[in-house]
Structure formats: structure tokens, C-alpha cells
Amino acid sequence: MRMLDIIHTKREGGQLSPEQLQFFVDGVVDGSIPEYQTSALLMAIFNNGMTDEEQTELTMLMMKSGTHLDLAKIPGIKVDKHSTGGVGDKVSLPLAAMVAAVGIPVPMISGRGLGHTGGTLDKLEAIPGYRVELSESEFINQVATEGLAIVGATGEVAPADKKIYALRDVTDTVDSIPLIASSIMSKKIASGTDALVIDVKTGAGAFMKRLEDSEALAKALVKIGQQAGLQCEAIISDMNQPLGRKIGNALEIEETIDCLKGHGPADLMEVVYTLGSHMVVFGRKASDLATARQLLEQTIADGSALAKFKAMVVAQGGDGRVIDDYKVMPQAKYQIDYPASKAGVITQMLADEIGMASMVLGGGRAKASDQLDYSVGIELNKKLGDSVQAGETILTIYANREDVSDAIKLLDQSIQIGEHAEVPPLVYEVIK
Ligand code: URA
């Protein structure tokens, strides 16, 4: 078989056979296919797409290129959640604790943030001592005993994806639906979960800015998951403005704990309950979404979700005092208010610019090797559709330097005040 023929087939809009895809993935992993040929095929896939069969086959081959976790030792139906990423999106943190408190094992393998989006692992590392790198056996034992663990990838998960992703990043082929879907699902299937609920974000701060692209991605993800034998559903939720009120690593842990104490912002809690209800039904603790939601609400009311979160933090080496004292996490030296330039209604609050503002303060990474400042970020006092008076605080910047003009420039681009706001729906649809 020749890589040139494989590239030609896809360049001409043809369908690749399982054998051709196998040859490609093997050659990527063992280095026998040069990067220029892999890049050419990626561009051909970007331009001509893939059929459902090709997409699923590529996913399974990338999944099999690395380790596959066997979670059979953990009793019960294991349910995980994945998000395509956003700003202020700390949903995984309260959600994992609440679903675990209902009695469903949650083996969550999460990622780090890049660019304007935050990463669950980075947020957890704001808690002194928290270890995101557990061995496979530590991870399995913790899910079996505590009911949940949130960790980085254990072992060599989908090495083919790692190599392909690095090339996509430098060949402008990241935003291809079959390539994104196979990349995400190869790692999720390798994690050994029985069921998966995916939060596909849409809007200014999301990977997919247009609803129809988010729908197409959600459908591809769900189809691959189901063909791989997982129970799998996706919701499409809004990422035009940030989710919740706090953006930044330690700030998002604070908001997580506030949620678990019953004081979470309404928009964030709505996304948590929507995703969580599907997870609870998948985990067979309720037969319908309304009952599932009641069970989740109960975990907040009786403190069991908060206790689960604390148990996970302590089991992973973190300082459990964080539950009652947020000051055990790094604190920013300066709090700088950003006032409204005039009276009116917030008509625009672009999530990507706010994520970038948090990033330039040190809360996110422009490149993978950047060090984070866990203490910095942004707290929103107003959201889309809220009224403001001239001079009233729209948000507060948490920084470790007095001059935050770079962040303010981004905030000026993000926020607009006018007369009438179009507030987008929080949850657009469920893809089954
Ligand atoms: N996340 C992934 O893991 N892969 C992609 O291609 C995009 C987002």
C-alpha cells in the first residue's frame, strides 16, 4: 500500500477503506509516514470530509494505538462527561461531585486549557497539593472507593491522536468535524467509561461559533460513541458569554464550592442540572430526567455533593480546608473594578475576549509550556441583558500587577452597552 494513493483517494473525494486507515494510523505512530504526507491527507480530509464509517474507523484505530483502561473492577455503570471547552466553564467540577453523590461512579479524565479556554486540571491545581497525575491503579481504586476522580490522561492514551493533533495545529486543519470528533472520541473511548454526556459549546467563545457546525459536531460525536458501544448523548449549550460569574483558576474553584453549597449562579447550575440529569438516567438511578434532576438537587440540599468534592480533593492530596477557606488558594494582589462607560443594558459580552483577558493576566496559556498564575482572573458583576448605571462596576479584574491595560483593551472589545439585548438560550438542544 502507498500513502500517495491514500492521499489521492481522499483528495478526489473518495472513501478510505479500513485497511487504508489502518496503514495511515500505523505509519503515523511508527513514524514511517513522513509528516508532509500526513499533513497532505489531513488537508484532504479537511476539504472533503469523511463518511460516518470512515470517522468511526479512524476513531477506533486511534483509540487502539494506545492504552485502554479497564474499569471492570469498579462496580456500577461508569458515566463521564466531556466539554468542547469554553470560558468560565467549570461545569465538570460540581457536576462530577453531584453525580457521584447520587451513587454513580464518575471516572473523569480531563484536559488543560489552551488559549482563551480554561482547563479542568488547571483549575484543580489551584488547590494546594492536588495531584492530577494518578497511576492507573490509583485512579481505579479512587473511583471504586470515593465514587469519583478527576485526573489527566493515565498512560499513553491515543498516541496517534497526539501526533495528528500536533500537525493539525500547524497546518490549519484543527476545525474539521471528522478530525475533531475522532480526536475527542478516541481518548474518551480509551478511558473505559460506559456512558458519556458531551457538552458541545456554541458561540463566540466556542470552537464552533455557528449553531449548525456545533450540531454537526455533536451528531458526529454521538454517532461515534454509540457505534463504539457507549451510551452517548450531547447537549448544545451557549458560549457567547462566559458561564457563571468567575473566570480564572482559583476563582472557578471558589465558584464550584459555592455551587455545591447551594449558591451557584443560575446559568451555571442550569447547565450542570441539564447534563447531570442525562448522566443520572444513563447510570440507571432514575428512569426520567425530572426525577434525575430531583436526585441531583437533593445532593446539594443534604451536603452530600460538597462532601464528595472534599473527599476527592483530599484523596488526591489537595488541601481540604479549601471548602471553608478559599484563601488557602493563591490570592491576587490587586482587585481592579471595570466600570460602565454609560448607562444602559449589556448588549454584548464576548466570551473569547474575556477568556483572552484572563489569559493575558496569567490565568491561561498562549502556548503549552506557559506557567499559570492561579490567583488571577475576572469576576462578572453583570451579564448580558443586565442594566447598568454609568460608572457602575461591570466586572472586577484580579491581577498581580497594577497596569492591566492589556486586559482592559480586550474587555473594551468584548463589552458593549446599548438599549436592547438579545440573550441567547442557555441550552439549544439535545442530540441523541
Ligand atoms: N479536543 C480534542 O481533544 N481534539 C480536538 O481535535 C479538539 C478538541
* ipTM confidence score: 0.96
Instruction: Give one DSSP letter per residue of 249-286, joined into a string.
Output: HHHHHHHHHHHHTT---HHHHHHHHHHHHHHHHHTTS-
Q: What is the pLDDT of residue 115?
A: 77
Q: What is the pLDDT of residues 175-190, one digit of tens each?
A: 899 999 999 999 999 9
Same domain, 153 and 201: yes
The total of structural domains in the chain comes to 3
Q: For residue 114, what pLDDT is reported?
A: 73
Find the catalytic residue in 65, 83, 182, 183. 183
Instruction: Say whether pLDDT at 409 is over 90.
Output: yes
Within a domain: 66: no
Answer yes or no: is 166 within a domain.
yes
pLDDT at 156: 86
Judged by average pLDDT, the poorest of 93-102, 162-171, 224-233, 348-357 is: 162-171
Quick check: CB of 181 below 6 Å from ligand 1? Answer: no
For residue 142 and ligand 1, the question of a CB distance below 6 A is answered with no
For residue 185, how far is its CA from the centre of ligand 1 (angstroms)?
A: 9
Of the pLDDT bands very low, low, confident and very high (cuts 50, 70, 90), residue 4 is very high
Residue 183 Cα to ligand 1 middle (Å): 5
187 an active-site residue?
yes
**Cell numbers describing residue 269:** 447550575
207 is written with which cell numbers?
470552537
Q: Are residues 314 and 173 in the same domain?
A: yes
Q: Is the pLDDT of residue 273 over 90?
A: yes
Give yes or no for residue 100 CB within 6 A of ligand 1.
no
Adjacent-strand bridge partners of 339: 393
- Boundary (domain end) residue, out of 260, 295, 323: 323
Does ligand 1 lie within 6 Å of residue 183's CB atom? yes
At 111, is the pLDDT very low, low, confident or very high (cuts 50, 70, 90)?
Answer: confident
Residues 318, 345, single domain; the answer is no
CA–CA dist 316, 150 (Å, integer): 9
Residue 74 lies in a domain: no
**Residue 130 is which amino acid?**
Y
On the question of pLDDT at 238 being above 90, the answer is yes
Label residue 220 by pLDDT band (50, 70, 90): very high
- CATH at residue 15: 1.20.970.10
Shared domain check, 150 and 294: yes
Q: What CATH number corresponds to the domain at position 108?
A: 3.40.1030.10
Closest residue CA from atom 7 of ligand 1: 180
Residue 157 and residue 174 in one domain: yes
Query: What is the torsion angle, in degrees rounded to the nearest 10, for the CA atoms of residue 42, residue 46, residue 51 and residue 52?
Result: 90
pLDDT digits (tens, 9 = 90+) for 325-341: 999 999 999 999 999 99
Place of cell 460516518: 52
3-state secondary structure of 291: helix
Is the per-residue pLDDT at 253 higher than 80? yes
Q: Is the CB of 180 under 6 A from ligand 1?
A: yes
- Centroid of ligand 1 to alpha carbon of 337 (angstroms): 35
Q: Are residue 272 and residue 355 in the same domain, yes or no?
A: no
Q: Confidence band (pLDDT; 50, 70, 90) for 344? A: very high
Tell me which of 81, 82, 90, 163 is the catalytic residue.
82
Tell me the best of 45, 183, 200 to mutate to test the pocket of ligand 1, counting ligand atoms within 8 Å of each CB and taking the most. Answer: 183
Identify whether 72 is part of a domain: no
User: Domain check: are 265 and 127 in the same one?
Assistant: yes
Q: What is the mean pLDDT of the chain?
A: 96
Q: Is 168 a residue of the active site?
A: yes
**pLDDT score at 368:** 74
pLDDT of residue 112: 85
Compute CA distances 362 → 245, 247, 375, 399, 409, whole Å: 18, 12, 9, 8, 16
Q: What is the pLDDT of residue 18?
A: 97
| Phi and psi, residue 239, nearest 5° | -135, 40
Give the rounded percent of residues in the chain with a pLDDT score beyond 70.
100
CA distance linking residue 106 with residue 103, whole number of Å: 9
Answer whether residue 26 is part of any domain: yes
Residues 187 and 109 in one domain: yes
When pLDDT is averaged across residues 178-206 and rounded to a whole number, the result is: 95
Name the residue range of residue 346's domain: 330-418
Is pLDDT above 80 for 39?
Answer: yes
pLDDT band at 28 (very low <50, low <70, confident <90, very high): very high
> Which CATH number goes with the domain that contains 389?
3.90.1170.30
Ligand 1 within 6 A of 184 CB?
yes
Residue 426 domain-assigned (yes or no) = no
Select from 303, 323, 343 the last residue of a domain. 323
C-alpha cell at 112: 488543560
* Residue 62 resides in a domain: no
In a domain, 428, yes or no: no
Q: Which of 187, 188, 201, 245 is catalytic?
A: 187
Domain match, 85 and 175 both: yes
